[in-house]
Chains A and B, each alone.
Chain A
Amino acid sequence: MPPVMPEVSPEQTAAAAHAPAVRQLLFQYVLQLADTSLVLGHRLSEWCGHGPVLEQDLALANIALDLLGETRSLYQYAAALEGRGRTEDDLAYLRSATEYRNPLLVEQPNGDFAHTVARQFLFDNFHYHLLLALKDGPDAHLAAIAEKSVKEAAYHLKWSSEWVIRLGDGTAESRQRLDRALATLWRYAAELTAPTATEAALQAMGLLPDYDDLAPAMQAHQARVLAEATVPVPTVAPFAQKGGKEGRHSEHLGYLLAELQYVQRAYPGLTW
């Protein structure tokens, strides 16, 4: 039995506070955040039952669950901002890969445990610092979602930072696996803080933080963790890969969505 919601949801009230043109920009941006957390949450859920040890299997599933929870709040807000009657489920299950707006980093396959840890560390370091800024931002509803999620993101960043340290300063085997993962994934990290036209427009209006303002804290944390891990900061930035936030994805996203969306595509409108 679904809970009876008030006739005007908090999301609709928040959306109505913006002019139509701003609402459309915010819709695109909130969708991007939701897609990002959904795709990464789905990737992490692929580990369920396959973790290297039981405790880390639990950790990965817990982080996946937090991200899916954040995803729902974001899609609900995105649906209200769009204002065309689509629901959170429509947005998650009935859009094609080219309509997804997640950065390329989060759709990359899990690889080995070091690869998943490196991907998580690069994402968490951005996610945590972004949410810290959004929770004090001018859009009250986005701020409320961020206020909730930043507490969870802090646990995630702590987890991935500790594992970067453990693998980097661990055995020769763990170290070479981490090195390989960082060398592969580093080129995707720059997209996180490279503003799209939508993000730049919202930043110009003061609705989003300027990513340059997040950089010092992100770099400081990253430097501290890599130093503790005895890993030099990789330098492969000239080969930066981007485009995911504008719908140009790697081949991996289609396969991920094929699995994630299978039931709704095969049996449209099916409910539990």
Chain B
Amino acid sequence: MVATTAPTEARIWELLEEVSDPEVPVLSILDLGIVRAVRVEGEQVTVTITPTYSGCPAMGAIATDIRLRLLAEGYAKLAVANQLSPAWTTDWMSAAGRAKLTAYGIAPPVDGTATGHALHLFGKETTVRCPLCQSANTKLVNQFGSTACKALYQCQDCREPFDYFKCH
């Protein structure tokens, strides 16, 4: 397919909103906050993304999905570049993304705890609200969950186990 119009940065951003995180499909990659830059020079489109976790297997799939979405619009001169620094943080997740996560049954990262990487080894655990019944009476089951970005919690009131998109 040949693009009917030349790419513009605004159009590319619109299309990126349609690319979802393959492991948390309710989130677009813009909600997730991993798109750092879009550059358009003539026909050439360069999208710069930041990995969430170093070993996240979704990053390869996301780069492919970006290319496929833009190719489907006829934009063929594409590059997807990786940028490590500044390191991705859950602080970059959009408010819309947080709301979508809660509706999907995953507790969103708690605001204001993602900056830095202090150990807090013996510190108090963050209070994470149950995404189903909103209770604050929840318990950390495992700091490492079903994917690199999630921890496993259980609600002590409704007893439901749930994923927490952990602060990073």
> Is A159 in contact with B144, judged by CB distance below 8 angstroms?
yes
Count A-side interface residues using an 8 Å CB cutoff. Answer: 44
Separation of A221 and B118 alpha carbons in the complex (Å): 12
> Is A73 in contact with B146, judged by CB distance below 8 angstroms?
no
Most chain-A CB neighbours within 10 Å: which of B51, B55, B152?
B55
Closest CB in chain B relative to A145 CB, distance in Å = 6
Q: For the complex, is B96 an interface residue (Cβ under 8 Å from A)? A: no
Residues of A within 8 A of B88 (CB): 148
> Is B54 in contact with A69, judged by CB distance below 8 angstroms?
yes
Residues of B within 8 A of A228 (CB): 122
Residues of A within 8 A of B145 (CB): 58, 62
> Is B117 in contact with A154, judged by CB distance below 8 angstroms?
yes
Closest chain B residue to A154 by CB distance? B117
B 82-100 to A, binary, CB cutoff 8 A, 1 in contact else 0: 1111111000000000000
In-complex Cβ contact of B64 among A1, A140, A147 (8 A): A1
Q: For the complex, is A63 an interface residue (Cβ under 8 Å from B)? A: yes
Q: For the complex, is B81 an interface residue (Cβ under 8 Å from A)? A: yes
Separation of A74 and B82 alpha carbons in the complex (Å): 14
> Is A73 in contact with B84, judged by CB distance below 8 angstroms?
yes
> Is A150 in contact with B79, judged by CB distance below 8 angstroms?
no
Closest CB in chain B relative to A15 CB, distance in Å = 15
> Is A69 in contact with B144, judged by CB distance below 8 angstroms?
no
Closest chain B residue to A70 by CB distance? B54
Closest chain B residue to A53 by CB distance? B142
Q: For the complex, is B141 an interface residue (Cβ under 8 Å from A)? A: yes
Residues of B within 8 A of A58 (CB): 142, 144-146, 152
> Is B119 in contact with A1, judged by CB distance below 8 angstroms?
no
Q: For the complex, is A52 an interface residue (Cβ under 8 Å from B)? A: no
> Is A69 in contact with B55, judged by CB distance below 8 angstroms?
yes
Q: For the complex, is A259 an interface residue (Cβ under 8 Å from B)? A: no
Q: For the complex, is B40 an interface residue (Cβ under 8 Å from A)? A: no
Residues of B within 8 A of A3 (CB): 60, 63-64, 67, 79-80
In-complex Cβ contact of B87 among A141, A148, A155 (8 A): A148
> Is A5 in contact with B144, judged by CB distance below 8 angstroms?
no
Residues of A within 8 A of B80 (CB): 3-4
Known: A3-B67, A4-B80. Contact between A68 and B168, CB under 8 A?
no
> Is A55 in contact with B141, judged by CB distance below 8 angstroms?
yes
Separation of A10 and B81 alpha carbons in the complex (Å): 9
Question: What are 7 A-B residue pairs whose CB atoms fall within 8 Å in the complex?
Answer: A3-B60, A55-B141, A66-B53, A147-B86, A148-B54, A148-B87, A151-B117
* A-B CB proximity, top 6 nearest: A69-B55, A69-B54, A144-B85, A62-B144, A65-B55, A144-B84
Q: B-contacting residues of A (Cβ < 8 Å)?
A: 1, 3-6, 10, 55-56, 58-59, 61-63, 65-70, 72-73, 128, 140-141, 143-145, 147-152, 154-155, 157-159, 161-162, 221, 224-225, 228
Q: A-contacting residues of B (Cβ < 8 Å)?
A: 46, 51, 53-57, 60, 63-64, 67, 78-88, 117-122, 141-146, 148, 152, 168
Given contact pairs A155-B143, A158-B143, a sample of 19 additional A-B residue pairs in the complex whose CB atoms are under 8 Å apart: A1-B67, A4-B79, A10-B81, A10-B82, A58-B144, A59-B143, A61-B144, A62-B145, A65-B53, A66-B54, A66-B55, A69-B56, A70-B54, A70-B55, A148-B84, A148-B87, A148-B88, A149-B54, A221-B119
